[in-house]
Amino acid sequence: MPPERTRPKAATIHDVAAAAGLSRGTVSRVINGEPYVSEEARAAVESAIRQVGYVPNTAARNLKTKRSRAVGLIVHEPHPLFLEDPNIGAILLGTNSVLSKADYQLVSLIIDSERDSDRVADYLGGGFVDGVIVISARAGDPIGRAVTAMGIPAAFVGHPPDLEGIAYVGIDNVHAAHAITERLLLTGRRRVGMIAAALDRDSGRDRLAGFRSALGERFDPELVVDSPLYSYRTGLEGMRELLKRAPDIDGVFAASDAIAAGALDALREAGRSVPADVGIVGFDDSAWALRCQPPLSTVRQPADLLGQMAAQRVLDQLDGKPSAPGGTMLDTEVIWRESA
Amino acid sequence: MPPERTRPKAATIHDVAAAAGLSRGTVSRVINGEPYVSEEARAAVESAIRQVGYVPNTAARNLKTKRSRAVGLIVHEPHPLFLEDPNIGAILLGTNSVLSKADYQLVSLIIDSERDSDRVADYLGGGFVDGVIVISARAGDPIGRAVTAMGIPAAFVGHPPDLEGIAYVGIDNVHAAHAITERLLLTGRRRVGMIAAALDRDSGRDRLAGFRSALGERFDPELVVDSPLYSYRTGLEGMRELLKRAPDIDGVFAASDAIAAGALDALREAGRSVPADVGIVGFDDSAWALRCQPPLSTVRQPADLLGQMAAQRVLDQLDGKPSAPGGTMLDTEVIWRESA
DNA sequence: TTGAAAGCGCTAACAA
DNA sequence: TTGTTAGCGCTTTCAA
């Protein structure tokens, strides 16, 4: 006896039509809420649907309509970062809320290997989604290129440095980094360094650029260390290195809160007190910022809004609205606490 | 002139056949790597595919084969928790790695409203996915019921209290909570309380049960507070309340590391020192645990392995392997640091 | 080894 | 207002 694993074969529109004593066309009209259906017919179909337990087969519908009412969100993060990045969750939720209101299904796809990258590209090409949002794309990112090459409606969160003419939303990292560095300088620091990260992304590059421009003449490349990841470890090791290179350092801009948290611990282990000996500022205003000792001065970025706007950009394209390609920059805010 | 927004209409298998001078059947055979295709035919088709830029239309394929080679992962979390839960990311990555190896696409679906819940149920019924993994389902969760009702191959991470006969993987929260509470007691604490959370889930209920059993006679319901969320705020407010109820409290089991972090801050604000005055232990061994001052004693749960095993359970069902329904319990480990 | 043809379940003309 | 019908792009017999 074969194991009983046959799912009760799903009812089709045909079964519903039979049960209701009407044609498939009429059933289809009811399902899609179209006009020109009599009240009786509608009622009969609706009861038949419940009776046979009908669920529309979306594959068939997609095949016919060429639309899926789904939007993909591609997250391309190296492992450790994915787990720590406080913004991703908020972006996701923001995106979902906008899409949900428009009755689109958000499907998140994570890329964690080259294999994933290829499979996701196929998935996108296969008509599973009508549009796509890409977050944290990096320079030379194959998925970013694939998306633009396919011509599928898309919006990027952040701006991959090597892609032209795309729709994206982001924050002005240069400006934000400049602002917080300037504020740090206001506390009277003389030797200010930076722990940079992710220089292959716009966010990383731009934060460094902002830092540099705020320092102007005083910028000293010796006082900048960098690493690929916005992580605690980056902060820990970066700060140790900075301390070695310049024992008299008295101010640090960490490219993220997680990095700042690591730097704080390195400072603690070196017996420096914050903010008395060294002032430190972060970036993100994540949950971490408040829980550090002392609480972090940092830059707040509106992650949920970023997600919402990216979703809206895709929706606009789907509706055929022009939605001028190019970027939308959202404002950030310096949050001043006690770490500097 | 209408705006030029027509995506170059995708090439079909038909175009490939024409370009290769062969039939659609042969093209299909090549695409699916089937035997009985001559070398010349294969080469011709492959070059034709490149030439016309063919990407298989998955909707059509699914319609025919009734399979999508995709597995859904449903995350059902109230907002704030989603952003803080350190396990979700690891579960996601674990799941993805197993599925990816089996050449399945993981698609994550987030439920953040009733509307989402309905839409996701339709999505699952619509043939977009062959199987589904549900994480953090709660008692009475409609999506859990929908999934089991549909009879779609599924695995749960954690065990919704009201669902019978389902496949799930989890940790033994009772045992783990018992173990760490016992260890806390070993430090000589006399008045030990708990900040519980999420009592509508197995994890929350079971951690409380383990705490209670470890305390035995000494269990005092007055020393237990609870809140719906595993959050920092729960810890902050819970600890304040506990301090009010029992100023002589000297030990606390926090149901998660985030809660413990909040409790730590409440203790600090009350001028109590940890671990001298009060010993505190958490749960999760998240990134937080190490960054607290002092570092947290906690329970490590193998979140990535949980994800991997859940994926495997679904894959087994998809392959028609029996995969006895019921639970798999993974081991946890008490990590002892300096907070108690 | 290949081609021809019959649908998968659905929508959207077109007729009635 | 409803029924009929022709595919959407693909896989999969069955014949050749």
The pLDDT of residue B181 is above 90: yes
* Interface contact flag, A97 B83, Cβ < 8 Å: no
Q: Please give the pLDDT value at position B288.
A: 81
Contact, B72 vs B134, CB < 8 A? no
Among residues B121, B119, B157, the alpha carbon closest in space to that of B138 is found at B157
B5 contact residues in A (CB cutoff 8 A): 320
Contact, A219 vs A250, CB < 8 A? no
Q: Averaged over B160-174, what is the pLDDT?
A: 86
A85: left (phi over 0), alpha (psi -120 to 50) or beta: beta
Q: Please give the pLDDT value at position A2.
A: 33
For residue range B22-45, what is the model confidence (pLDDT) as tens digits?
999 999 999 988 888 899 999 999
Domain boundaries, chain A: 13-56, 70-170+304-330, 173-300
A152 contact residues in B (CB cutoff 8 A): 7
Residue of chain A with shortest Cα separation from B8:
A151
Q: What tokens appear for B30 in the block?
A: 């090549």
Identify any residues that bridge with A135 across adjacent strands, giving them in sequence order: A75, A157
User: Among all strands, which nt has the closest C1' to B32 (CA)?
Assistant: D11
Q: Please give the pLDDT value at position A80.
A: 61
CATH topology agreement for domains B70-170+304-330 and B173-300: yes
* Interface contact flag, B320 A113, Cβ < 8 Å: no
CB atoms within 10 A of CB B314: 29
Q: Averaged over B224-247, what is the pLDDT?
A: 95
User: Among all strands, which nt has the closest C1' to B126 (CA)?
Assistant: C9
Residue of chain A with shortest Cα separation from B91:
A83
Q: How confident is the model at residue A3 (pLDDT cuts 50, 70, 90)?
A: very low
Q: How confident is the model at residue A4 (pLDDT cuts 50, 70, 90)?
A: very low
The pLDDT of residue A331 is above 90: yes
> Which residues, at least 6 apart from B173, have a Cβ–Cβ distance to it below 8 Å?
B202, B203, B206, B207, B209, B210
Average of per-residue pLDDT values in chain A: 90
Share of chain B above pLDDT 90, in %: 64
Share of chain A above pLDDT 70, in %: 94
For residue range B266-321, what is the model confidence (pLDDT) as tens digits?
999 999 999 999 999 999 998 889 888 899 999 999 999 999 999 999 999 998 87
Mutate to test the interface with A, among B107, B114, B233 (most CBs of A within 10 A): B107
Distance CA A37, CA A19 (A): 17
Highest mean pLDDT among A86-95, A247-256, B162-171: A247-256
Q: How confident is the model at residue B78 (pLDDT cuts 50, 70, 90)?
A: low
Measured CA angle at A285 (ends B340, A190), to 5 deg: 95
Distance CA B76, CA A328 (A): 31
Instruction: Find tokens 């043939």 and name the residue.
Output: B127
Helical (H) or strand (E) element with A259: helix A257-269
Residue A24 CB lies within 7 Å of the nucleic strand C: yes
For residue range A17-38, what is the model confidence (pLDDT) as tens digits?
999 999 999 999 999 888 888 9
> Which residues, at least 6 apart from A204, have a Cβ–Cβ distance to it below 8 Å?
A196, A197, A198, A226, A230, A255
A234 versus B166: which is more confidently predicted?
A234
Q: Averaged over A97-118, what is the pLDDT?
A: 92
Distance CA B122, CA A16 (A): 17
Identify any residues that bridge with A107 across adjacent strands, giving them in sequence order: A72
Contact, A78 vs A114, CB < 8 A? no
B127 contact residues in A (CB cutoff 8 A): 57-59
* Interface contact flag, B110 A92, Cβ < 8 Å: yes
For residue range B6-24, what is the model confidence (pLDDT) as tens digits?
455 778 999 999 999 999 9
Q: How confident is the model at residue B66 (pLDDT cuts 50, 70, 90)?
A: confident
Task: Name the amino acid, one letter, at B215.
Answer: L
Residue B29 CB lies within 7 Å of the nucleic strand C: yes
Q: Averaged over A146-171, what is the pLDDT?
A: 86
> Which residues, at least 6 apart from B25, have a Cβ–Cβ distance to it below 8 Å?
none
A271 burial via Cβ count (<10 Å: 0-12, 13-18, 19+): exposed
Q: Which CATH architecture has domain B70-170+304-330?
A: 3-Layer(aba) Sandwich (3.40)
Q: Which residue is nearest to nucleotide C8 (CA to C1')?
A: B64
For residue range A261-318, what is the model confidence (pLDDT) as tens digits?
999 999 999 999 999 999 999 999 988 898 888 999 999 999 999 999 999 999 999 9
The pLDDT of residue B3 is above 50: no
A3 CA, D15 C1': Å apart: 34
Distance CA A217, CA B106 (A): 50
CATH topology for the A173-300 domain: Rossmann fold (3.40.50)
Q: Please give the pLDDT value at position A1.
A: 29
Q: Which CATH architecture has domain A13-56?
A: Orthogonal Bundle (1.10)
CA A184 to chain CA mean position, Å: 28
Q: Please give the pLDDT value at position B80.
A: 60
Q: Please give the pLDDT value at position B6.
A: 44
Q: Averaged over B237-264, what is the pLDDT?
A: 97
Q: Please give the pLDDT value at position B150.
A: 82
B8 contact residues in A (CB cutoff 8 A): 151
The pLDDT of residue B71 is above 70: yes
* Interface contact flag, B126 A261, Cβ < 8 Å: no
Distance CA A17, CA A130 (A): 30
Distance CA A250, CA A165 (A): 42
Q: How confident is the model at residue A5 (pLDDT cuts 50, 70, 90)?
A: very low
Residue of chain B with shortest Cα separation from A106:
B109
User: Among all strands, which nt has the closest C1' to B24 (CA)?
Assistant: C3
Q: Which residues touch strand D (CB under 7 A)?
A: A 22-26, 29, 35-38, 40-41, 60, 63-64; B 9-10, 12-14, 24-25, 28-29, 31-32, 54, 56-57, 60-61, 63-65
Measured CA angle at A183 (ends A182, A185), to 5 deg: 65
Share of chain B above pLDDT 70, in %: 94
Instruction: Find tokens 């590059």 and name the residue.
Output: A205
Query: pTM for the complete prediction?
Result: 0.89
Q: Averaged over B214-238, what is the pLDDT?
A: 95
Chain C bases having any atom below 7 Å from a protein CB: 1-5, 7-13
The pLDDT of residue A84 is above 70: no
The pLDDT of residue B151 is above 60: yes
Residue A53 CB lies within 7 Å of the nucleic strand C: no
Helical (H) or strand (E) element with A193: strand A192-197
Distance CA B290, CA A326 (A): 42
Identify any residues that bridge with B168 across adjacent strands, giving them in sequence order: B156, B327
The pLDDT of residue A186 is above 90: yes
Distance CA B322, CA B303 (A): 25
Task: Name the amino acid, one letter, at B322.
Answer: P
